[in-house]
A = this chain, B = another copy of it.
Amino acid sequence: MEDTYGKLISSLAKTNDKRIVLLVMDGLGDCDNAGKGTALWQAKTPNFDALAARSALGLLTPVATGVTPGSGPGHLGLFGYDPLVFQVGRGVLSALGVEFALTKRDVAARLNFCTLDAAGNITDRRAGRIPDSENRRVLALIRQKLSPPPGVELFWETEAEHRAVLVLRGDGLDDNIGDTDPQAVGVPPLRPDRPPHDASRTALMVADILDQVKGILASEKKANMILGRGFAKAPDWPSFEERFQLKPAAVAGYPMYRGVARLVGMPVVSQPTTAADVCAEAAKAMKDHTFVFAHFKYTDKTGEDGDLPAKIQRIEEMDAAIPALLKAKPDVLIVTGDHSTPPSMKSHSWHPVPVLMHAPHLRGGDGKRFDEVSCRAGQIGTIPSKEIIPLAMAHADKLEKFGA
C-alpha cells in the first residue's frame, strides 16, 4: 500500500490562521435498526438541521466497502492517515487504550491471564475473567518478583478483567515475537521465540520473562500464567502537524481516543465527556490551535449497548450543545463519526458514516436534515474518511494549487 494521496496533500499543505474543527460523534452512523430507522433520522436536531441547510453533506467510508473498523483505524482515517497504510499492532492499540505513553524504544503486547493445569496445558484462556482487583494484585506480584532483562525496563498495566498490557522499553528492541496464545485450550502456551521468530533477540527476552512469570504465579489458582499477543513497536509516523501544517489539539474524555491522537503527535488539551463540555472545550482549544479534534463517546456506547432511544438522546444532547461551538466561529466545522454503531447490531459496522461540513466555498447547502438519507445525496458524495481533512483544508485555503 502506498500513501499516495497523503503525500500529495502533505506536499501542498500551507499554514494560515484559519481554524478547522473535527467533531467526532463516535459510532454516529446507523442502519435502519430492523425497520425502526436510524438514530439520526429519529433524533430531533433543529440545530444540526439548520446547519445542514448551510453545509455540505456526504458519507465517509472508514476503511473499505464492507469492512468494519475498530476505533484505531476509524480515527486514523479521519485524521488523514489511510488505515490500510498506517496499521497499528494489537499491542500498541492496547497500550493506547490504557493511555500508556509509548516511546520509540518500546514494544507493547496485549496480555490475557489464563489458567494452566498441572501438566502445563491451558484450561481457561481468560482465567475465569478475574475481577480487575485480582488483575492488579497479580500484576503487582509480577512487578515485585520478576528480574527484567539487562538494559530493559518493563511496564505491566491492568486493562480490565483478565486483560493487561506489557511494555518492554530498551535500545534496539524488535517486535519479531510470536503470539503465545494458541487460541485453544488443552495445549500449552506457544513459545514466543519459535521459528520464524527464533532469530529475534527480543523474542528470547520475552521467553525468559514468561518463564519467570510461570514460576511467580505457580501457586495462583486461576491466573497462574499469561498469554501474549500482538507484540508491536510504536509506529514511527509523520506527525499530524508536519503532515498537514496544522497545529493540532485533542479534546477527548476517553483514553483510547487520547491515545490515537497522541499516536499522530496531537497533544491532548482537555478531557471532557458530556456534549456541552466537549463543545465548550473545543471552542476554547480553537484559541491557540488551527485544528481541534473533539471526541464524543456516548453515541457509540449507546449503540454498543443496543439502546436506540439512548443513542437518539445523545445525538439530541450534542444538537443542543453545538451552538456554543458555532459561536466560536470555526472556519470549517466537520461533524461525523469514526464508524457506524447500529443499536440493532450492538457493534461497530461497515456502513458509511454521515458527515456534515460547514465551510466557505460550498455549492450551496445540501439538506434540511442531517441524517443518512440526506447525506447520501449530498455534494461531498461517498469518499474515504482520509479525504475529509484535506477537503476541509481546501475550504480553509490551506492547500497550494497542484501544478502551474
Contact = CB atoms under 8 A, between A and B. Distances in A.
Given A364-B32, A404-B90, A4 B4 contact: no
Q: Most chain-B Cβ atoms within 10 A of its Cβ — which of A342, A351, A372?
A: A351
- The binding surface of chain A is classed by DSSP as loop
Nearest to A2: B1
Interface stretch (A198-206, A279-287, A294-302, A383-391): A383-391
Contacts of A12: 67
Interface in A59-84: 63-73, 83-84
Interface residues of A, number: 63
A221 interface: no
A377 interface: yes
A57 B72 CA distance: 30
Interface stretch (A171-179, A187-195, A319-327, A393-401): A393-401
Contacts of A402: 63, 67-70, 73, 83
A369 interface: no
Given A66-B387, A363-B38, A73 B8 contact: no
Interface of A: 1-2, 4-5, 8-9, 12, 30-32, 37-38, 63-73, 83-84, 87-88, 90, 93-94, 97, 342, 344-345, 347-351, 361-364, 372-373, 376-377, 379, 381-383, 387, 390-394, 399-404
Contact of A93 (B72, B90, B404): B404
Given A363-B372, A399-B66, A401-B69, A84 B4 contact: yes
A294 B171 CA distance: 59
B404 A70 contact: yes
A64 B8 contact: yes
